[in-house]
Amino acid sequence: MSQSPLVALQGISKSFFGVRALNEVSLQVAPGEVLALVGENGAGKSTLMKILSGGYTPDSGQIVIDGSAHQRLTPIQALELGIAIIHQENLLAPTMTVLENIYSGHELTRGFLMDYKAMRSGALRELKELDLSLQLDRRVEQLSAAEQQYVKILKAMMFRPRLLIMDEPTSMFNVEDADKVLTTTRRIAQRGISVIYISHFLREVVSVADRITVLRDGCVVNTYDNRGRDTPLETLTRDMVGRPVDMFYRKETCPIGETVLEVRDLKVTPHGEPVSLSVRRGEILGISGMVGSGRTEILRAICGAAPHYGGEILIDGKHVDIRNPADGIALGIGYVTEDRQRLGLMLNQSVVENTTVVALGRKLRGVLVRLRDHAGLVRPLLDSLKVKYHSPWQETRTLSGGNQQKIVVAKWLFADARIILFDEPTRGVDVNAKWEFYKIMTRMAAEGKAIIMVSSDMPELISMSDRVLVVRDGRVTRELAKDEISENAIIRYALEVENDD
């Protein structure tokens, strides 16, 4: 780099439970530079960023900022030094407004009163600078996932950072919204603010980063100059995984049987369009559409996590009444939510507790359930899913994102669910973990389970789906058979672009 680095990490090492998470990691970032950090789940990216932002203390090494060395930072010190982080997890207060969230923890005051006029003025100024549009008086719970991500970006920018860490900033977005985040990232860098950009979407990494550093097994493998935006994806995936990786999964053909689940004229909102669909034994039914199209709402209504306002649901040809998640569970429906950390797992509980929580009353009988007696029941299942863990009593929050997602699946397999609803099944997991997950889904289909999969990942939809339903504004605009599924067709019907059909 021609400029002196703003931040340099030198020889950073960190271990958990006796396992080395980072091993002598060194990297640096210059003012106004976008440095992308890529690697598999568990490679050490998040651990490294938590050390830089004050969340973890390194076992060895130092953090050099403006030439001054620090053995460790606290979160407050990191902010004072100009280091802000946008976490992948949603840490916003849902019942507070956008404006209140933006200034939460560093409110502007006039005397003993909050100065809402000054805060609004500052927020509007930053919105204009970043070319973002948000209604400051709306509650966060009323916003789309994309809008909530913009709130997180805006909140971080109000700290006037010199270095902004963005952890999977586009994981909740469709293509259009993801492009807007990339544009926002470039604008931030053009203001002289350094950015460390973490993402599993390698194409967007290449399109936005000035340099790309690859981590594998807690070590720096390579750093590439990407100012020409031309680093080959195959090179990055080879470094990440340690071998060449095909970027497109080829799903094995599974026998498809009789209809298991049928939905007739289901209304997921009081005045919404009715939705009808069916899925058969051994089939993977894909559902596509832009964020906010109603895809997730359909899944939640089917499993009882959200109400429906008309229509009927049939399982094995028989009408069923699903009013809450317990009804869906009793009927063999499992729901793998897109927000695994907030809704799919008990992060502070053990691997065993998360795996057995749904089936606790049916499989683990007794007045006083002794989980230590049943850890052996879950080990074969976890081994079959290739979950990487050190102990069945390990807290689930310490697992990588891909292994956390496998625990969510294990929970439903342990409960003998035969209809599995996947909402963005591989969001936030790396390319190698995706392949493992696709093999798991294929095996589940081969075993006769009926699968519905909502996904924004085009290669995932195309390779994994036997049929695809395209949803727009809460209604199905098109059903695509296997030989009709393509990225152009999905986008055309998702946007309802006129065509020659």
Q: List, for residues 256-310, the tens digit of each pLDDT value.
A: 999 999 999 999 888 888 999 999 999 999 998 876 678 889 999 999 999 888 8
**Residue 69: pLDDT over 80:** yes
Whether residues 411 and 422 fall in one domain = no
User: At which of 399, 416, 433 does a domain end?
Assistant: 416
Question: With pLDDT > 90 as the criterion, what percentage of the chain qualifies?
Answer: 48
The model's confidence at residue 497, banded by pLDDT at 50, 70 and 90, is low
Distance of alpha carbon 230 from the chain centroid: 26
Whether residues 283 and 147 fall in one domain = no
Whether residues 289 and 197 fall in one domain = no
The count of other CB atoms within 10 Å of the CB of residue 456 is 22
Identify any residues that bridge with 261 across adjacent strands, giving them in sequence order. 279, 315
Using alpha carbons only, give the angle 428, 430, 434 rounded to the nearest 5 degrees: 95
Asked if residues 202 and 237 have their Cβ atoms less than 8 Å apart, the reply is yes
Domain of 153 in residue numbering reads as 7-241
pLDDT for the residue numbered 234: 85
Asked if residues 64 and 10 have their Cβ atoms less than 8 Å apart, the reply is yes
Residue 353 main-chain phi, psi, to 5 deg: -65, -40
The model's confidence at residue 452, banded by pLDDT at 50, 70 and 90, is very high
Asked if residues 219 and 21 have their Cβ atoms less than 8 Å apart, the reply is no
Give the Cα separation of 402 and 404 in Å (integer): 5
pLDDT, tens digit, for every residue of 11-44? 999 998 777 889 999 999 999 999 999 987 778 8
**Residue 500: pLDDT over 70:** no
Give the Cα separation of 412 and 358 in Å (integer): 7
Whether residues 500 and 456 fall in one domain = yes
Q: Which pair of tokens denotes residue 67?
A: 């030439």
| More confident of the two residues 106 and 122 | 122
Q: Is residue 339 part of a domain?
A: no
Range of weakest confidence among 15-24, 94-103, 111-120, 294-303: 15-24
* Residues 6 or more apart whose Cβ sits within 8 Å of residue 145: 172, 173, 291
pLDDT for the residue numbered 197: 96
Whether residues 127 and 218 fall in one domain = yes
pLDDT for the residue numbered 16: 81
pLDDT for the residue numbered 385: 85
pLDDT for the residue numbered 225: 96
The model's confidence at residue 404, banded by pLDDT at 50, 70 and 90, is confident
Hunting for tokens 């997890």 — which residue is that? 89
* Residues 6 or more apart whose Cβ sits within 8 Å of residue 61: 9, 10, 11, 12, 13, 24, 25, 26
For every residue of 72-86, which 3-state class applies, written as one string?
CCCHHHHHHCCEEEE
Please tell me the total number of residues recorded for the chain in this structure.
501
Hunting for tokens 């049939």 — which residue is that? 314
Whether residues 359 and 289 fall in one domain = no
**Residue 51: pLDDT over 90:** yes
Q: How far is CA 251 from CA 425, 442, 446, in A?
A: 15, 7, 11
pLDDT for the residue numbered 20: 86
Give the Cα separation of 325 and 260 in Å (integer): 18
Selection from 16, 35, 377 nearest residue 218 by Cα = 16
Give the Cα separation of 32 and 264 in Å (integer): 54
Whether residues 67 and 202 fall in one domain = yes
Q: Which pair of tokens denotes residue 249?
A: 């999964």
What is the enclosing helix (H) or strand (E) of 11? strand 7-16
Helices 375-384, 401-414: axis angle to 10 degrees equals: 120
The model's confidence at residue 498, banded by pLDDT at 50, 70 and 90, is very low
* Contacts for 388-395: CB closer than 8 Å, 24+ residues apart: 388/42, 389/351, 390/17, 390/19, 391/17, 391/351, 392/350, 392/351, 392/352, 393/350, 393/351, 393/352, 394/17, 394/350, 394/351, 395/347, 395/348, 395/349, 395/350
Q: Is residue 341 part of a domain?
A: no
Whether residues 45 and 182 fall in one domain = yes
3-class SS at 295?
helix
Q: Which pair of tokens denotes residue 56?
A: 């973890």
* Residues 6 or more apart whose Cβ sits within 8 Å of residue 458: 487, 490
pLDDT for the residue numbered 367: 44
| More confident of the two residues 401 and 225 | 225
Q: Is residue 467 part of a domain?
A: yes
Give the Cα separation of 102 and 393 in Å (integer): 37
Q: How far is CA 138 from CA 94, 100, 141, in A?
A: 10, 10, 8
User: At which of 384, 416, 448 does a domain end?
Assistant: 416
pLDDT, tens digit, for every residue of 241-257? 776 666 567 788 889 99
Give the Cα separation of 245 and 433 in Å (integer): 11
Question: With pLDDT > 70 as the criterion, what percentage of the chain qualifies?
Answer: 91
Whether residues 232 and 102 fall in one domain = yes
Whether residues 320 and 271 fall in one domain = yes
Q: Is residue 248 part of a domain?
A: no
Q: Is residue 16 part of a domain?
A: yes
Whether residues 442 and 487 fall in one domain = yes
Q: In the predicted model, what is the mean pLDDT of the chain?
A: 87
Q: Is residue 163 part of a domain?
A: yes
**Residue 364: pLDDT over 70:** no
Q: Is residue 246 part of a domain?
A: no
pLDDT, tens digit, for every residue of 72-85? 999 999 999 999 99
Whether residues 409 and 429 fall in one domain = no
> Is 0.95 surpassed by the pTM of this model?
no
CATH number at residue 15: 3.40.50.300
pLDDT, tens digit, for every residue of 149-204? 889 999 999 889 999 999 888 766 666 677 888 999 999 999 999 999 998 888 88
**Residue 230: pLDDT over 90:** yes
Overall domain count for the chain: 3
Q: Is residue 340 part of a domain?
A: no
**Residue 1: pLDDT over 80:** no
User: At which of 386, 416, 446 does a domain end?
Assistant: 416
